[in-house]
Amino acid sequence: MEKEILYDIGLTKGEVEVYLALLKTGFSSTGNIVKESKVTKSKVYDILNRLKEKGLVSISLKNDINYYDAAPPNFLIELIEKRQKEVKNQKEQIEKLIPDLVTIQTSALKKERIEIFEGFKGMKSAFQILEKEFEPGQEFLVFGVDKTLNQQQLNFFINYHKIKLKSRIKTKVIFTSNLKGVKEYHLKKSRYNEEKHLEQSSAIPINIYKDMVIIPLLSQGEKEITIFFKNKKLAEGFRKYFYTLWKVAKA
């Protein structure tokens, strides 16, 4: 018999063993239940009371001794239906609570902060923070892009750029000179994508969007370290610096 199904509807292992024992023995005292279920006497009383609360066991007093009987198996359907009603009610309560929870989260996200993410997944998480804020027509600035990406990182940024295009984000990128002509780093030109090159061979990539800045520290063979800033003054400072470089960079 597949007892796991009974566990899935909310019964504990002890409750399952006691209920099955009662189905086998019928109207019984605790002694027979303990013998049949292999559940210790110290635990069986608590389990029987829980089963009674769930409507799966009835109790009768005979000669000052409690006797127990199992409810018909179709009562399990009623137990499931009761749980479904409870889950539905909980779902409705959570749905009412969600706007308040979103307000709390939004308030937290608006606060200035610095976070450090480790590894490739961490880097993805940092950029997903920006992605959640994407709005058509907004500007995404990147400078200091050089030839330090491994294939996994390169694939991520190619896909990320596609998300920006789909979201109609205007991206401007300043590459280092050693990437000029390296096809895989350059995507098809569009109204949402501008690129220039700067005469330098290496740099640290800096990404600016709204009041957020992401600096991924990427080195071949080393774990990614990504620094996320949410600070309006810092973002504006980097934005001004970007446009200073943009004026002298070559198309």
Q: Can you give the CATH number for the domain in which 67 is found? A: 1.10.10.10
Band of residue 242 on the pLDDT scale cut at 50, 70, 90? very high
CA distance 183 to 171: 18
Question: How many folded domains does the chain comprise?
Answer: 2
Q: What would the pLDDT profile of 168-216 be if each residue is shown by its tens digit?
A: 999 999 888 766 655 556 566 678 888 888 887 567 889 999 999 999 9
Range of the domain at 226: 112-248
- In this structure, the answer to whether residues 128 and 67 fall within a common structural domain is no
- In this structure, the answer to whether residues 235 and 139 fall within a common structural domain is yes
Q: Helix 30-37 crosses helix 41-53 at what angle (to 10 degrees)? A: 100
Average pLDDT over residues 115-125: 94
Q: What is the signed CA dihedral for 154, 156, 157, 162, rounded to 10 degrees?
A: 130
Q: How many CB atoms lie within 10 A of CB 67?
A: 17
More confident residue, 52 or 63: 52
Residue 99 lies in a domain: no
Distances (CA, A) of 51 to 5, 36, 56, 73, 79: 17, 17, 5, 13, 11
Is it the case that residue 130 has pLDDT exceeding 80? Answer: yes
- In this structure, the answer to whether residues 130 and 52 fall within a common structural domain is no
- Average of per-residue pLDDT values in the chain: 85
Is it the case that residue 5 has pLDDT exceeding 60? Answer: yes
Percentage of the chain modeled with pLDDT above 70: 91
Band of residue 218 on the pLDDT scale cut at 50, 70, 90? confident
Task: Tell me the three state secondary structure of residue 212.
Answer: strand
Residue 67 lies in a domain: yes
Residue 105 lies in a domain: no
- In this structure, the answer to whether residues 117 and 69 fall within a common structural domain is no
CA distance 40 to 18: 10
Q: Output the pLDDT for position 105.
A: 67
CATH code where residue 197 lies: 3.30.870.10
Of 73, 102, 120, the residue at which a domain comes to its end is 73
- In this structure, the answer to whether residues 164 and 222 fall within a common structural domain is yes
- In this structure, the answer to whether residues 124 and 240 fall within a common structural domain is yes
CA distance 80 to 75: 9
- In this structure, the answer to whether residues 201 and 117 fall within a common structural domain is yes
